[in-house]
Amino acid sequence: MVPYSDAPVRDVGLAALAELLAGPVVPAARGLLGCRLSTDGVTVRITEVEAYAGTAGDPASHAHRGRTPRNAVMFGPAGHAYVYFTYGMHWCVNVVTGPDGEASAVLLRAGEVVEGVEAARARRTAVRRDVDLARGPARLCAALGIDKAAYGRDLLGDGPVRLRPAAGPVPDAAIAAGPRVGVTGAHDVPWRFWIAGDPTVSDYRRHVPRSRR
DNA sequence: TTAAAGATTACCT
DNA sequence: GGTAATCTTTAAA
């Protein structure tokens, strides 16, 4: 089930990564697998992502209804961070993609903590195994300490949150695709990508609507 | 001004 | 397997 395997993923430098992110969202999402995201003392290797097409007719995207104060950064240039708060307690982080003016982004869903395990653990209680430290979009943000302070920051620059290319290329054959998680609609679009077999990839759970109070 | 839903996680039975 | 926790964003009145 990998119908979107058109663009081969290679090991790229920082400039090439920036160019990839400025292009179509699906190749950008695939290219983000294996990249490393670092904050103060903690580095995560990205193992799972989801693509959101924003204004391009994607009903699951926060930007599909047009520009609002929250999603404004998604309409800007690629390589910046779109951080949002949800369910009253969780932060999630996206990498803005596509040309300036087009609101596409890639949600970072999970990663492997490759540096600063102690620091990551200190930020999270009730974590038993290391592979669970950044297994899930809100957990990934918690492990890295990402919150609204990172909103709109340039991830490719030399700021407090830095995105860097993969140390080694992720073979195209190692990338699996499937429906996005937690999304109410658009279950027919396989825009969730992950590194096949990686233990840090989150489980697939169908979205369960919450009961009203 | 008010209300409803949400790109989730942790803890319950 | 089900649901409570918890609050921002967004749209409607």
Q: Do you know the residue count of chain A?
A: 213
* 3-state secondary structure at position A7: coil
From the alpha carbon of A86, which nucleotide's C1' atom is closest?
B6
What's the pLDDT score for residue A187? 67
pLDDT for res A188: 73
Chain C nucleotides close to protein (CB under 7 A) are 2-11
A64 CB-to-strand C distance under 7 Å: no
A203 touches strand B (CB under 7 A): no
- The amino acid at residue A150 is A
Please report the pLDDT score of residue A186 as a whole number.
59
The CATH H-level (homologous superfamily) assignment of domain A14-195 is Methylpurine-DNA glycosylase (MPG) (3.10.300.10)
- Strand C and A126 CB separated by under 7 Å: no
Q: For chain A, list residues with pLDDT below 50.
A: 1-5, 11
pTM over the 0.75 mark = yes
Give the pLDDT confidence of A38-71 residue by residue, as tens digits. Answer: 999 999 999 999 999 988 789 899 999 999 999 9
At residue A128, the pLDDT reads 79
Distance A211 CA to B13 C1' (A): 18
> CB neighbours of A30 closer than 8 A, spacing ≥ 6?
A4, A7, A9, A172, A175, A193
CA of A89 to C1' of B13 (A): 24
pLDDT tens digits, one per residue of A116-136:
999 999 999 878 799 999 999
A61 beta carbon to strand C: under 7 Å? no
CA of residue A87 relative to chain centroid, distance: 18
Q: Is the CB of A87 under 7 A from strand B?
A: yes
A65 CB less than 7 Å from any atom of strand C? yes
- Strands A104-115 and A81-86, sheet pairing: unpaired
- Model pLDDT, residue A3: 45
Q: Which nucleotide is nearest to A70 (CA to C1')?
A: C9
Mean predicted lDDT score pLDDT of chain A: 89
Q: How far is CA A17 from the centre of its chain?
A: 15
pLDDT reported for residue A16: 94
The rounded distance, in Å, linking the Cα atoms of A81 and A21 is 12
The answer to whether strand B lies under 7 Å from the CB of residue A131 is: no
C-alpha closest to that of A98 among A50, A46, A27, A150 = A27
Q: Where are the domains of chain A?
A: 14-195
pLDDT of residue A76: 96
